[in-house]
Amino acid sequence: MVTVRKRLMNEAVLKTEFRLDFQDTETAFADKTDAELKEKYWLFRLMNSERLVNITTELTKLALKIHLPIEPLIKRTIFRHFCGGETIQECERVIEKLSRSKIGTILDYSVEGKYEEEDFGKTKDEILRTIKKAKDDPRIPFAVFKVSGIAPLGTLEKITSRTPLTEKGQLKWKRIRERVEEICSYAHSVNQPIFIDAEESWIQGAIDLLAEDMMRKYNRNSPIVYNTIQLYRRDRLDFLRISHQKALRDGYMLGVKLVRGAYMEKERERALQMGYSCPIHDSKEATDNDYNKALLYCLENLDSISFVAGTHNENSIQLLAREMHEKMIPPNHRHIFFSQLYGMSDNLSYVLAKNGYNVSKYVPYGPVADAIPYLIRRARENTAVMGQMSRELELIIREMKRRGIY
């Protein structure tokens, strides 16, 4: 009895002792000059006010609509903070800066809202260029693309809802598959892992079909293609388990990026308008619960799952890091990665990197005008996340005080 009690006490101590210090602002902002930190402070103060974000967003839309020359101003402010540049070449400064802190870059071509076949072809070609850039560059561990960037939304929606396609629709679906195949085939040929991002629920079914086909074909020997699972959806924890069983049955490695989700407001609005049950969890707690369960499920199956914890949630990261520590899994295990967005949660990314974990930042890029929808979404999402901006601002202020510039 004494031995068992002593062992349980030792386990309790182990659980409480291991904790990463995400309040270490000196590490979080080590590569920021005083001027850059002040600029970040003012930007996050703006984003901490939902009213100011909404006003600024509407003014930006209006200015673009009447062709006011505001792009240079956007590029010098919010674009510079959340994007790497307008081209792959312009991103080099950010890639190298992150690399010096042992943080990888994921180049994310952020052009969206295109509808023509010619545009889809151009986007596909740009995605191929990001893979070519990444294949020989250890600073860029992953490539990424959105299927909606190379496909008409209507076709994706019909495939997801299992609506029969016309002859023209079948031709569009064939072209979508060919583009995805070309991207994933090239990634496989150069051994470059690539994420297929998750999107809205009404087109996600088509994306899941494509991702599963690509994993079955190209993940035989190592994880090349990763599907993205949004755990704010009620059905996604089960989807993860089912995807894993399919991979085991068919003999390929499952690659997954785990995120909470990025389309909450759109999902709820559409469900309300169209009168169907919203696929999103009712509470943040339910989402957090599923997300953490997904992390632990993947951790228990490292021999057949390679996964990325794409999260800004400190509790989830602490959980995963602690479980890795207790199971004596090395921080740089080749099947476990962490990822955050460029310009956000530097305290998480930089502290993880300092402690030897595999960590990377999503670095969006593209023409300023084309990236504006992404930037608007970024501002609104960050403002909507309860306490996110306040936490970011608090850390910035703490570091400014430490440096004596506040």
Q: Write the pLDDT tens digit of every residue in 210-264.
A: 999 999 999 999 999 999 999 999 999 999 999 999 999 999 999 999 999 988 8
- The two three-digit tokens of residue 70, written as one number: 């505001």
Do 384 and 283 share a structural domain? no
Does residue 181 sit in helix, strand or coil? helix
How many CA atoms lie within 13 Å of 108's alpha carbon, on the beta-carbon side?
Answer: 24
Mean pLDDT confidence for 392-401: 93
The answer as to whether 370 is a domain residue is no
Determine the structural domain holding residue 406 and report its residue range: 31-78+375-406
How many folded domains does the chain comprise? 2
Lowest mean pLDDT of 68-72, 84-88, 297-301, name the range.
68-72
The answer as to whether 179 is a domain residue is yes
Indicate the average pLDDT of the chain.
90
Do 142 and 119 share a structural domain? yes
Could you tell me the pLDDT band of residue 115, with boundaries at 50, 70 and 90? confident
Find, among 118, 108, 100, the residue nearest to 339 by Cα: 108
Could you tell me the pLDDT band of residue 11, with boundaries at 50, 70 and 90? low
Do 250 and 333 share a structural domain? yes
Per-residue pLDDT at 18: 92
Do 310 and 275 share a structural domain? yes
Do 37 and 91 share a structural domain? no
Do 140 and 53 share a structural domain? no
Do 96 and 74 share a structural domain? no
Do 103 and 198 share a structural domain? yes
List CB contacts of 29: < 8 A, sequence separation 6 or more.
37, 346, 350, 396, 399
The answer on pLDDT for 386 being more than 50 is: no
Do 35 and 20 share a structural domain? no
Helices and strands (DSSP H and E) totals, the chain: 18, 8
The answer as to whether 74 is a domain residue is yes
pTM: 0.91
The answer as to whether 185 is a domain residue is yes
The answer as to whether 254 is a domain residue is yes
Mean pLDDT confidence for 278-288: 96
